[in-house]
Structure 1
């Protein structure tokens, strides 16, 4: 039996059983109320579900999964619904119950001495950051949707963000998990241990699995000391190769205290200046490329500023950097970061945008940008590439704005063909077609096309071992 042949399609009976077990307030079934849960972030896909379950505890999630399993009905877990690959959206062709975890939003524990925090899956990322700050600690995951994305979704997609260079992906920030398994049992792995060499690291099965192996209900996460000194610079570089060289120099000059290193093209800055209120050009003369550099240290003695000025001065002498603006205060630092975030917002006003979330080795990012730009310009004359993002860890958001004056829908109709060509280049360079957004539904077929038979066999074996009935988030990560 699998998710395409459920034992019953009597959703009314299932809904009554769930309402009896969880309470009527846990069930959302009107079309209007369900709309926010079924609207995919980029509006490329339309979700469908007979009803939504808003579980308020691990026990309620376990009950929901158990009753759905008894009815042979698939379950699609969802966090803040900020994902970009339709991983948390159910579809009409496979009727499923959507389980949203927004009511599971408690901070269960924070141990400042142990540098750990235990939170439920529905906790908003920003809430976790704030709870850590109140205890004079840092939770370093930071990304554009942090005011609405949830920890469960961050874990399920192995989220990255701007600080991966220093602190790693979400997989690197988790100590332990609590997970409801496909059979309804609960695995309590909420340990704050830094070392546990007792066999398979089960937590890593569920991080990045996008709810296909079970539902993460809580997590114990790592905390870090809060920086005492932070320096931010907006730097004009000659090209992406110069940016990569500058990154290496920054890491060496500061004792590897580089928090973030973002690549920004001039076209991205121009878009932000044009469409986003409050954005200003930090430098007097334009450059084709920029790097946004953030350094952080536990010592507030001015040495970080000195290191920044020193290695930038040398980079100017060596022709890597033509100009730089160093933030004089927190307000100016935030203004520099607003440019980076403004690029994302501004692209919406320039027509259709075909997007890629790829990674290659850091040393290969300049080559990728050059080759991919030439490739797409040949495919679509007049296309406007906007390659930007986390060059510090090799993750480039290779977004492609439509040619000026082009028909939006006709351009977006080429999404799959352009993705395929760019992904082929990425894989040929030893890279990944998804660096931080996950696979979800949108990239499941592409994932199968590029992974080896051995990799796919191993992934299917894990899926079958934990979810033999195929009821957990069917059609995501692995094609049905």
Structure 2
């Protein structure tokens, strides 16, 4: 059983740390971006060094006090919010945000976990390099949280998830020991891969305090286009055509539905859209080319080939950086328009590319059997990650329909699972999807996860109740 982070414990902890390391419990530490659950905590620790993190974790482990790691607070599955159980200690790394080293010739940057994604991107740009992870929340999200959730974003097609961008880690394990794993090696076959064990563990196996991250050359020329497609199946064929013509130079390939554009027009009419009449489906394509290649020519060639093949009906190629930003603003503002409409049930799913068109075609009619819905399906088509969100009928608010949320989620997730997909693509499990993991997870994998958790964190102090159900 865990004990609360009560006043007596906080007094002892404060005596072990420099002044100011234990701070007030501000509302931001206990809130969920979507307002679904409020958290609770006994106190907030804000260390400045890995040694201070070690001291905190050792004290919590000895006293059996739960620890909830906190990054930028942008997580969408309640991984950073604990709403029940003995009062935990919130551990924020916001004061550990230094860039420890930039090795431009190696395409590596070493940063502390509290640095925001935007700060890491800026440090890379300062030496003429690109840190390619890109999220709408990059001004707030911190790199430790990105690593802990294995964040995705729009550039996974070309550069991979956060896991693929990580070379090494520094972390504090549940007993307080420090793992000095900040290597900058591309190859290191020296036993079990603790780096990949901690990446995506959502703070349940330890606290990431710093990371060595891969950088990439900044493309010499960027090009962006929106193309109207007749169907998701055509969009997938266009993706294959783009990959064949441009190889690994396609950075992003986003699917956008007419429903998403309608939501934007309704709730954010100031957002300029690329077409006077919103199409039923369109794709947003980003390419980054080396010196000597013209992205406009490449995108024009793709459009013409797609038109000839019956895959494209209309299109616009960005003619300026401002227009390129406008195209991307359409995609990036869809989640905010969704929030203002108010979804009944939202889903972050992944499917094999060959299953996407069939799923989209079948899911709508299946959901119609239990009610009338508006569906906004959009997302990172290039890596099979869809955001499949279900809304009430026109003119209705979400509240009268929330009783159907559980049935909607079951239909969507059952269909995804039947197609060998995942019910959590890029947002993680947190506390929101623990039941889903138990329902759809492979039994052997779950048993191994529980064994690893028990071995590394026998007292169960690390982010209790996240990913795996808390025992006792």
The TM-score with structure 2 as length reference comes to 0.97
Question: More deviation in 208-217 or 362-371?
Answer: 362-371
1:129 shift after superposition: 0.4
Are residue 25 (structure 1) and residue 20 (structure 2) matched?
yes
Which aligned runs of 4 or more in structure 1 are off by greater than 3 angstroms?
none
In the TM superposition, what whole-angstrom CA distance separates every residue of 1:285-311 from its partner, at most 9, and x where no partner exists?
442100000011122442x32222112
Kept in 1: contact 2:33–2:76 (CA 8 A): yes
Q: In 1, are the aligned partners of 2:4 and 2:86 still within 8 Å (CA)?
A: no
Structure 2 residue aligned with 1:330: 321
What's the CA shift for 1:95?
2.2
**TM-score where L is the length of structure 1:** 0.95
Shift in CA distance, 277/63, structure 1 to aligned 2, threshold 3 Å:
farther
Report 1:25-104 matches (<5 A): 25-29=20-24, 33-104=25-96
Describe the SS at the equivalent of 2:453. helix
Alpha-carbon distance in 2 for matches of 1:274, 1:405: 11
Match of 1:377 among 350, 368, 371: 368
Instruction: Report the equivalent of 1:117.
Output: 109
Q: Which residue matches 1:393?
A: 383
Label 1:466 to 1:435 Cα distance change in 2 as closer, same or farther (>3 A). same
Relative to structure 1, the CA distance from residue 413 to residue 47 in structure 2 (aligned partners, 3 Å threshold; closer, same or farther) is farther
Contact 2:169 2:210 in 1 (8 A): yes
Q: Distance in 2 between matches of 1:257 and 1:278?
A: 32
Query: In the alignment, which residue of structure 1 is the partner of 2:455?
Result: 465
Question: Paired residue for 1:230?
Answer: 222
Distance 1:91 1:387 in 2: 30
Instruction: Answer yes or no: is the 8 Å Cα contact 1:347–1:353 preserved in 2.
Output: no
> In structure 1, which of residues 390, 404, 411 is the aligned counterpart of residue 401 of structure 2?
411
Aligned residue for 2:162? 170
Give the counterpart of 2:144 among 142, 152, 175.
152
Structure 1 stretch displaced more, 279-288 or 252-261:
279-288
Aligned partners of 2:218 and 2:79: how far apart in 1?
A: 33
1:360 maps to: 351
* 1:410/1:278 CA distance change after superposition, 3 Å: closer
Shift of residue 408, structure 1, vs aligned partner: 2.4
Q: CA shift at 1:349, angstroms? A: 2.3
- Alignment match, 1:312: 303
Aligned to 1:430: 420
Return the alpha-carbon distance in structure 2 between the equivalents of residues 47 and 417 of structure 1. 26
Tell me the SS of whatever aligns to 1:348: helix
> 2:469 maps to what in 1?
479
Report the Cα distance in structure 1 between the residues aligned to 2:122 and 2:426, rounded to whole angstroms: 23
Post-superposition offset of 1:10: 6.6
C-alpha distance in 1 between matches for 2:267 and 2:276: 20
> Is residue 159–residue 436 contact of structure 1 (8 Å, CA) maintained in 2?
yes
Of stretches 448-457 and 201-210 in structure 1, the one that deviates more from structure 2 is 448-457
User: Which structure 2 residue ranges, 5 or more long, are not aligned?
Assistant: none
* 2:197 is the alignment partner of 1:202: no
1:71 is displaced (CA, Å) by 1.0
Cα shift readout 1:439-479 (whole Å, capped 9, x = no counterpart): 00000111011112211111111111111111111111011
